[in-house]
């Protein structure tokens, strides 16, 4: 699996010499001999249910579909820890959280002296850039250019942190600005004699789903169908019952669904007022004019029970879809730019998210759980010339695989301590016999917002075994073939004992392989 470069246009020996290559020599190279560029677009909380190339039920995403139609769609793409910071640390290091040490959003600061793929690319002569959400607390390293949003970022007239560590403000909608800055770097700022890798990392579609003003009216006539398990009772799944991410119970009426009540105060109301307080007076008027009749009708009707649940679900789906729409436009802008500049043949374009998201499945928004909707993440790629693979790739892949993929594509040797596996053989159309048959997952952020308990687990093609631990000791087993919505915990049923035994062995093997100190203890399990 390591001899990946046969048939590629650029050889391993060629690119490692890149750092020392003079610009004169590089000018002599023909267009085909240039090393590949990497345009890595990542959004926040964008789930496959809301991309028409994965799921036709809810909305159209024509530009994302362009990537999938011209290239490949991974149908089994997963994260290792379904939360922003940890997921970003996994992808940039190619290692699980136990190795990169960024376990959660709330207590960790990324050790920026550690090995990352942008640093290795830069060392090999690539121009590297990062624009948008970073969320790793320490300032970025390994980039020729970066400009990031503070923390979660602002949708409207947002703040940015510059390379001088200054905080500046820009006028506009964040998704558009991130694209403007990225295109500007590709067009005007980078050294065009060198290959480049740009990380275009959006805040969209993160909570609280504030749309670009021109799309406020979109999807307002649309009624979204609730998932069948919206009214899940969590029977046999106490950790699922204990969460605080229910659309009905936990989604805030002002902060999330924007129904301002001037007679009530709350922390979330103030936070919301701060967000929309960033709009100019003219913009704010447009915003308020849109919401005024909806707010009036809501408080007049004062829906309760299932009526309220459905009302909140519809508002959530509409806002989320509006934010995706601007995002999709901006992916189109990047593709058009690359096409116009004849860069497509020589560039790998990747679109993914930091994790999946619940669109009402189990009654939820947010992520965190190892259940399918949040452990999955969309992954589509437009491949450079020389890679013939098209259509679906069904092998199980994980966000720790991006780093080795980019390195291998650039001809940079993949360090042995990287946990992920290069996806290049899959992109070349190979079906490696020894491809992984099990994925490891570990979520740590508890106690914390949304109250999803700590858990680790293993997922194979057919089964998923999860162990919730810390203030609980509870196993769950799902047969994904007969129960894709993960409603029936089979753990403890006699006929599944052999499956559980095998999965526990696999789990321990992975925990040992990745050297995770928090691991399942088979001896204790036998007691
Ligand atoms: C914020 C959100 C949460 C969300 C986390 C993590 N609350 O804290 O709903 O789970 O981010 O999201 S909010 O009130 O600030 O909107 S992550 O994608 O960054 O990991
Ligand atoms: Ca996220």
Residue 417 and residue 455 in one domain: no
As a whole number of Å, the CA-based R_g of the chain is 23
Give the ligand 1 atom nearest the CA of 206: 18
CATH number of the domain that residue 508 is part of: 3.30.1120.10
Closest ligand to 105 CA? 1
Of 16-30, 122-136, 216-230, 350-364, least confident by mean pLDDT is 16-30
459 in any annotated domain? yes
User: Does residue 53 lie in a domain region?
Assistant: yes
Pocket test for ligand 1, best of 136, 353, 449, 450 (most atoms within 8 A of CB): 449
Residues 101 and 241 in one domain: no
Q: Which residue minimizes the CA distance to atom 10 of ligand 1?
A: 366
* Average pLDDT across the chain, whole number: 94
Indicate the angle between helix axes 84-93 and 402-410, nearest 10 degrees: 30
Expressed as residue numbers, the domain containing 274 is 216-229+236-312
Mean of pLDDT values over 505-521: 96
Residue with CA nearest ligand 1 atom 7 = 207
Establish if 384 belongs to a structural domain: yes
Which residue, by CA, sits nearest to atom 18 of ligand 1? 84
| Residue 206 CA to ligand 2 centre (angstroms) | 6
Ligand 1 atom closest to the CA of 255, numbered from 1: 14
- Half-sphere exposure of 353 toward its Cβ, with a 13 Å CA cutoff? 28
Is a pLDDT exceeding 70 seen at residue 520? yes
Q: What is the CATH number of the domain that holds 361?
A: 3.40.720.10
Whether residue 155 sits in one domain with residue 41? yes
Give the Cα separation of 423 and 434 in Å (integer). Answer: 13
Q: How far apart are CA 212 and CA 209, in angstroms?
A: 10
45 Cα nearest atom in ligand 1: 18
Residue 429: other Cβ atoms inside 10 A = 13
The token pair at 172 is: 């506009």
Confirm if 243 and 452 have CB atoms less than 8 A apart: yes
Residue 14 scores a pLDDT above 50? no
Q: Would you state the pLDDT for residue 4?
A: 34
Cβ neighbour number for residue 516 with a 10 Å cutoff:
17
Same domain, yes or no: 67 and 182: yes
Q: Which atom of ligand 1 is nearest to the CA of 135?
A: 19
For residues 180 and 196, state if they share a domain. yes
What's residue 28's pLDDT?
44
Please check whether residues 89 and 187 belong to one and the same domain. yes
- How far apart are the C-alpha atoms of 216 and 185, rounded to whole Å? 30
* Poorest-pLDDT segment among 13-17, 74-78, 216-220: 13-17
Compute the distance from residue 32 Cα to the ligand 2 centre, in Å. Answer: 37
Same structural domain, 111 and 166: yes
Ligand 1 center from residue 187 Cα (angstroms): 33
58 domain residue, yes or no: yes
Indicate if 503 and 432 belong to the same structural domain.
no
pLDDT at position 20: 40
Question: Given 280, 312, 344, which residue is the final one in a domain?
Answer: 312
Is residue 202 domain-shared with residue 282, that is, in the same domain?
no
Ligand 1 pocket, mutate which of 46, 89, 105 (most atoms under 8 A from CB)? 105
Residue 28 lies inside a defined structural domain of this protein: no
Q: Which atom of ligand 1 is nearest to the CA of 83?
A: 20
Lining ligand 1 with CB less than 6 A are 44-45, 83-84, 105, 152, 206-208, 354, 366, 449-450
Ligand having the closest approach to the CA of 352: 2
Which of 108, 110, 152 has the most ligand 1 atoms within 8 A of CB, as the residue to mutate? 152
pLDDT per residue as tens digits for the range 267-309 = 999 999 999 999 999 999 999 999 999 999 999 999 999 999 9
Q: Residue 31's pLDDT band (boundaries 50, 70, 90)?
A: very low
Q: Is residue 134 in a domain?
A: yes
Query: DSSP H helical segments within 302-377, as ranges?
Result: 305-340, 372-375
- What does the pLDDT average to over 458-469? 98
Q: Which atom of ligand 1 is nearest to the CA of 368?
A: 10
Q: Is residue 25 part of a domain?
A: no
In the chain, the number of structural domains is 3
pLDDT tens per residue across span 373-395: 999 999 999 999 999 899 999 99
Mean pLDDT in residue range 486-506: 98
What's the pLDDT at 523? 82
Q: How confident is the model at residue 524 (pLDDT cuts 50, 70, 90)?
A: confident
Last residue of a domain, one of 375, 405, 437: 437
Which among 382, 375, 327 has a CA at the least distance from the CA of 354? 375
Q: 92 with 49, same domain?
A: yes
Whether 24 is covered by a domain: the verdict is no
Confidence of residue 459 (pLDDT cuts 50, 70, 90): very high
* Domain-terminating residue out of 312, 329, 350: 312
Q: What is the model's pLDDT at position 18?
A: 45
Same-domain pairing of 74 and 153: yes
Kindly give the distance from the C-alpha atom of residue 321 to the centroid of ligand 2, in angstroms, as a whole number: 16
Q: Residue with structure tokens 């600005």?
A: 177
Q: In the chain, pLDDT over 70 holds for what percent of residues?
A: 93
Q: What gap in Å lies between CA 308 and CA 249, rounded to an integer?
A: 10
For position 163, what pLDDT does the model report? Answer: 98
Residue 129: which of 92, 188, 84, 182 has the closest Cα?
Answer: 182
Yes or no: say if 443 and 468 are a contact pair by the CB < 8 Å rule: no
Same domain (yes/no): 122, 247: no
pLDDT at residue 16 is higher than 70: no
**Alpha-carbon torsion, ordered 379, 382, 386, 390, to 10 deg:** 70
pLDDT for 466 beyond 50: yes
């Amino acid at each position: 699996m390591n001899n990946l470069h046969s048939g590629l246009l650029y050889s391993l020996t060629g690119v490692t010499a890149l750092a020392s290559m003079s610009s004169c020599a590089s000018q002599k190279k023909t267009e085909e001999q240039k090393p590949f560029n990497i345009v890595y677009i990542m959004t926040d909380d964008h789930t496959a249910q809301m991309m028409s190339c994965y799921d036709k039920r809810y909305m159209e995403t024509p530009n994302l579909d362009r990537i999938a139609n011209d290239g490949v769609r991974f149908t089994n793409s997963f994260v290792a820890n379904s939360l922003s910071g940890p997921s970003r640390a996994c992808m940039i290091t190619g290692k699980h959280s136990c190795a990169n040490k960024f376990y959660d959003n709330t207590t960790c600061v990324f050790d920026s002296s550690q090995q990352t793929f942008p640093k290795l690319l830069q060392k090999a002569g690539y121009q590297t850039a990062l624009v948008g959400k970073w969320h790793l607390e320490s300032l970025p390293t390994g980039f020729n250019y970066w400009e990031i949003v503070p923390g979660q970022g602002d949708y409207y007239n947002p703040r940015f942190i510059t390379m001088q560590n200054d905080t500046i403000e820009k006028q506009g909608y964040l998704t558009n600005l991130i694209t403007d800055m990225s295109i500007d770097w590709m067009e005007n700022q980078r050294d065009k004699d060198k290959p480049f890798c740009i990380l275009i990392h959006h805040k969209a579609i993160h909570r609280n789903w504030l749309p670009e003003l021109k799309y406020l009216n979109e999807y307002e006539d649309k009624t979204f169908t609730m998932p069948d398990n919206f009214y899940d009772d969590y029977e046999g799944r106490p950790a699922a019952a204990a969460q605080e991410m229910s659309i009905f119970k936990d989604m805030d009426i002002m902060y999330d669904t924007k129904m301002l009540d001037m007679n009530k105060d709350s922390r979330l109301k103030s936070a919301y007022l701060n967000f929309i307080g960033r709009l100019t007076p003219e913009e704010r008027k447009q915003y308020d004019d849109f919401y005024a009749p909806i707010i009036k009708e809501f408080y007049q009707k004062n829906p309760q029970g299932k009526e309220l649940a459905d009302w909140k679900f519809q508002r959530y789906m509409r806002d989320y879809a509006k934010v995706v729409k601007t995002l999709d436009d901006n992916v189109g802008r990047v593709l058009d730019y690359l096409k116009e500049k004849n860069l497509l043949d020589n560039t790998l374009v990747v679109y993914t998210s930091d994790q999946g998201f619940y669109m009402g499945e189990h009654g939820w928004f947010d992520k965190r759980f190892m259940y399918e909707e949040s452990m999955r993440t969309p992954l589509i790629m437009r491949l450079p010339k020389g890679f013939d693979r098209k259509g679906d790739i069904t092998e199980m892949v994980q966000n720790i695989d991006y780093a080795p993929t980019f390195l291998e594509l650039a001809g940079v040797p993949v360090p042995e301590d990287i946990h992920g596996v290069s996806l290049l053989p899959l992109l070349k159309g190979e079906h490696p016999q020894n491809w992984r048959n099990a994925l490891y997952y570990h979520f740590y952020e508890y106690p914390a917002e949304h109250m999803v308990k700590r858990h680790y687990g293993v997922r194979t093609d057919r089964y998923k075994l999860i162990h919730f631990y810390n203030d609980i000791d509870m196993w769950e087993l799902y047969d994904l073939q007969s129960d894709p919505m993960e409603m029936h915990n089979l753990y403890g049923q006699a006929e599944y004992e052999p499956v559980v035994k095998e999965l526990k062995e696999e789990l321990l093997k992975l925990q040992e392989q990745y050297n995770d100190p928090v691991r399942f203890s088979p001896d204790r399990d036998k007691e």
